[in-house]
Amino acid sequence: MGNKTNKSSTNNNNPSSSGGGNSKSTSSSNRLTDHMIRERRADVFNYYQDVRRLGEGSIGTVRLVKRKKGTEGGSAYESTRDHANWGGGCGCLIDGLFGCSWLTRRSNNTINKHRQGSKSSNHSEMYALKSIQLRLVQKEYLDELRNEISVLRSLDHPNIVKAYEVYETKHNIYVVMEYCSGGDLYARVPYAESQAANIITQLCSAIGNMHDNGITHRDIKMENIMFESSDPMAKIKLLDFGLSKKYLPGMYMSDWCGTVYTMSPQVLEGVYTNKADCWSIGVIAFLLLCNEKPFRGKRSEMLSKIKHCDFTFNNPGWCNVSKDAKRFVAALLTKDPKKRLSADEALQHSWLKKKDFASVSTKELNESLMVNVKDNILSFAQTSELKRIAAVIVAHKSSVKEILDMRRAFEKIDTEKDGVITIDEFKTAMAECDEYSDEEVNAMFDHIDVNKNGTIMYTEFVAATLELHGRVEEKRLAEAFDHIDDDDSGYISKENLKKLL
């Protein structure tokens, strides 16, 4: 897409004070996160129906697909043994948590009745399917896809696109991903300053979360930031992680990769850190605020301007833009990476802190919803570890529409806007529950922190508040069963659980 470039070269692991290491560890290399994306050795089109072509990704075709009727829930519904042998023990993992019947085996007639008549079957969720044909691509493109899968396993943030499943056959690899139907950032230009600030806040939060997890994106551009839906208030999602790089603190990267108009001077020079992403944020902010790129001209002219940090605010589009916004852009489009704002520092900039730019969804959050959130958290903290894990899987697979209230509550509690809830933020949110001691609140926090990394991640929070949406559809519970039963045996075995616990 566009001027995307990837010239691979050996990384130099030279120590550097500007490396931008992990100031806040939210890394989740734990087993639960590793298993959130289900892998199958099967043809994806046995499970999904092709709808239409969406376009070309950085390493292959992207298509719109929907789940085929009768395949939802997988092994939770498949009848592979004599029905008399099933009993009631197959789905005991989720009954107490959701207050509904345990998932058990049923006759084919009952299965078909459920699949044809349930309200969850009356609408089909759409997914984006990224694919490559193994015989047609060079090894570097296959490596990009596998790298993207690896990166997405380790990330959990409301503004980062989700991957659900990976299908691999002898000839193809497919990744089933969240479908963002609202178009990329170009789809809604021009933007008011308040809209630009809202988008940049979300982007800084996502990039800061990546950097805290030791990952640099390396291809942030307008085309890789999508609106999750056509709703005017839709949130953004960052996607396309094929060029992303996992790094260690103090590590220099040297690959000449990305898209030219958002490349930093250091990327062009072949010696850079995660601060290259922050330069790209500055380019995006500039473009959103005045509807023009900061570095224009033919390729050679553009490269020269980038290398010399040659941009101005003289364009007519800047006439009605605040000085604070200009200072924000200038602090990111700074040639010296040591003086350039980090993503976390950008989040704290006065321009993004203006009350007038606060998210409307957070402003309008009513007190009754927050009371329900706290009640759900208290209930969730008292459940078993297995049920909490099942809830996390359901939360990961839930659509934006299903978890909208939970996300709004998460945004309100996450006062630092960094995509995780710390113990201090949690205590502040739970402060009205006077009947609980500090020790008890700490215990609740620990129970919700299923990944045991010292923070409540986005999906963990959604899992703890699932019942805000009402009774969880059986389809979602069946999907959780099928996900844990990763050998498709029809049972939840000790071996299945060992991979998660």
d(CA 458, CA 449): 10
Q: Is 369 left (phi over 0), alpha (psi -120 to 50) or beta?
A: alpha
E strands, 134-280, are 163-168, 172-178, 215-216, 225-227, 236-238, 245-246, 256-259
Largest Cα separation within the chain, whole Å, is: 78
Reference 326, options 267, 285, 360, 380; nearest CA is: 285
E strands, 98-162, are 126-133
d(CA 164, CA 175): 8
H or E element at residue 6: strand 4-7
H or E element at residue 392: helix 385-397
Kindly give the pairing relationship between strand 256-259 and strand 4-7.
antiparallel
Record the tokens describing residue 317, joined without a space: 């589009």
Q: How many residues does the chain have?
A: 501
Write phi, then psi, for 189 (nearest 5 degrees). -70, 150
d(CA 421, CA 424): 8
d(CA 388, CA 461): 11
DSSP 28-67: --SHHHHTSSEEESS-GGGTEEEEEEEEE-SSSEEEEEEE
Reference 420, options 455, 381, 374; nearest CA is: 455
Reference 460, options 445, 474, 471; nearest CA is: 445
d(CA 43, CA 337): 46
H or E element at residue 421: strand 420-421
d(CA 255, CA 264): 12
Q: Out of 156, 219, 240, 344, which one is annotated catalytic?
A: 219
State the residue for tokens 């224009």: 296
Is 487 an annotated catalytic residue?
no
| Cα torsion angle, 365, 369, 373, 378, sign | positive
H or E element at residue 282: helix 275-290
Give the active site residues.
Answer: 219
